[in-house]
Structure 1
Amino acid sequence: MRDVFQHEMREVQDRLVEIAELVAESIRNATRAFNESDVSLAETVIQNDQKIDALTVVLDELSIQILARQNPVARDLRIVVSALRISASLERMGDMAEHIAQLARYRFPDKVVPKSLRGTFAEMGRLDVLIAERLVELLRTQEPRVADEIRNQDDEIDELHISVFDKVLGETWKGQAVDTVDATLASRYHERFADHAVSIAKKVQYLVTGDWVPED
């Protein structure tokens, strides 16, 4: 029974990594579709979100079965419960990538944001992709250093997020109402994507070190 339990625990980790890899692919394609007005790539992201959703359901069912059959305790129990919470955050990250892709599809063939903000969103997208790649590494290795890197990169995105609001609320902003709405939504989606990654990083850090990092 112990061998079966250990196999199931390894499967939980493997499935988390698999979902995180799909999320990284989604945000990579979504930000490219957003910045390059690539409607075909945007459609791919939107369709693939269903796969992320389905895999999170499978992982949740596996975790619930482990709780019911194996009655884990101590650290094993924390791992299974954390897996349920992490899968929910990964699913939301997939949703954020899908929302970014939807904006690109809605505005095609035009680009989503005015030229004055494109550099900012290109940088936000680059950081989101980097965070997603770090998250895959973190779930695979559980290396606390990687969790710290994710939090630092999230700080950079937060600063860019604030700069977008400063821009669209400033006196020099010449965008139309639709430009203001699109820029605000897009910035929020990029920022929330990173926030969910930080939430996962904190859970992994807790599992590894036993120290809970408080919410900012």
Structure 2
Amino acid sequence: MKLHGYYRSSTSYRLRIALELKGLAFENVPVNLLESAQKDAAFTSRNPFASVPMLEADGRDRAQSMALIEWLDEAYPAKPLLPADIEARYTARELAYAIATELHAPLNLPVLKYLKEEYGKSPGEIGEWYRHWLARTLVPVEQRLEQLGTGDFLFDAPGLFETVLVPQLYNARRFEYDLSASPRMTRIEAACLALEPFRRAHPDNQNDNPQRETS
């Protein structure tokens, strides 16, 4: 398998976590979003969405991270990311898709660049935008976790929800979002980051992280 992605992309990060949790070997192929490499003709001829991640697997190029994660679970059923119980699967999807569908669209790089270039928004104003939309979704996610009485993970081990949550909290910290009122989420995050699959998937440990290359 080859995973075409960007070290700081939350969607690429969630795919790395999913692959690591399932114990699937893959090659990380950098796509520099800051240089618009995802828009190159050679890339868009394979992935018309012009987005990352793109996964080369079983003779096909696949895009869209959430569809990819569920495909991985179906194609490689060992070490499932979704629980067997139908209600537990629903809960995992409810929380994961709340983050993936409500936050990715208003907070991805093209939107932030558009705010800057077309509307002249300052870094401070863009940060306010980012934190506003984070709160709109992360506050109710925290409330749902409290209702469920979660501990270190949503269920007994990390799965679909954690693959989506951890990258989003990584980006939340980059934009100085206050997580002090999110003890359930941060407890899950800490428990995940103590595990080797999450450490290997972390942006700090990717071959296209410029700080890693120069350290």
Shorter-chain TM-score range: 0.3 to 0.5
Higher helix share: 1
